[in-house]
Structure 1
């Protein structure tokens, strides 16, 4: 953008277009999805705010730290863009190397937080599984229940397996064989088991849902960060600068070997 500045010189008015200094734009942009709130919003709700959940808090804290590191990279990128002593290729290469270094330092923390969450999810899923038959007699009873269910009309089967009527033996029978054996679709069987789990394990299923949602938000945020890093790592200018460095180093080594 330009604007005219009136200059008084020797009694004459002259108009000279003067360019304003361009504001350096950072090569690296922080994605909107790199947001700790995508995780922290799944903390338990309590009166007056949010409750505690160490696993989700660790996920959110790790994304907060990742966002802070991304902001540092963005600031560094903007400063490089303002540096008139470097070529665009040199700037791109410096940003690439800095971004890869930060990503490498964060990978272990991100992996650790996600692993802890997945372990917690697996533990809860194990706690709320329908009971297995304790002996051969109980296994036979479950088989007979499945046979009886498969012979019912769809309406009667729905009544028997409704949330308020379904019991441990019925849900164990449903879980102990493929859905079609009981005359249900996979979705119908899964829905009946999920209803039983919510009824019998309300706290665990509520936390399980929050944990899974928190991990989904975490994966989106972490993925957007690594996508940002990948974009600058694949910048053609950075690749060119790196290739030129390798060529220069190879030429230097060749000269040194010739001197020997």
Structure 2
């Protein structure tokens, strides 16, 4: 990452932190290398397919299971897809983005969602609306990298899971200015928190999540992981001490984790 690229990155991060809210940033994402949070609405079938594929790789399915998807977004689009794919019921949980009923109904029409399928989907705004032990399969896509309090989050996951329940998390470890996938690892914690963090990017790496899962009483396996070797090499000599100490493990750019409660 040369000096010009670093200046561009810092400028964009400062603008994102202090000028644009999430809605504005989403509108500008066509031109700026910024993470757009509403991908569930544009191609929910792709996300459903990624869940089904990852579950199959881990030796699991979703037929007949009670499912909860964490981070559903403004609509239940992915949840409808999960119900159509065989889940007996789906809770679409979204604590931050308000439910957009008009858009949801438009997507139901666009993707030809049957009424019988929609009837098996419920909406929730938090874990407190999901009863203990009522979920057989808990799913998330590009959520764990944004969760600040991992301990509380995984305790809530454990509470709602049935005794034999399983959860699958698809995690994007890249800097969400995707043009610079590892740039955020080059700033000290105090600088990142005070000036550059958009508010929901704690910079977790794979080992952080594995440690938090273990502490919460989960046995976890890595279904798959990927790294961007060339991009990582460009910043490796600039990594802060915390990330440099992780070595090549800090380079993981995405991972799929499957976890179940320890005996």
Q: Same fold (TM over 0.5)?
A: no
TM-score of the two chains, using structure 1 as the length reference: 0.24
Q: Higher Cα Rg: structure 1 or 2?
A: 1
TM-score scaled to structure 2, two decimals? 0.24
Task: Name the one with the larger helix percent.
Answer: 1
If asked which structure has higher relative contact order (CA below 8 Å, sep 6+), I would say 1
Greater strand proportion: 2
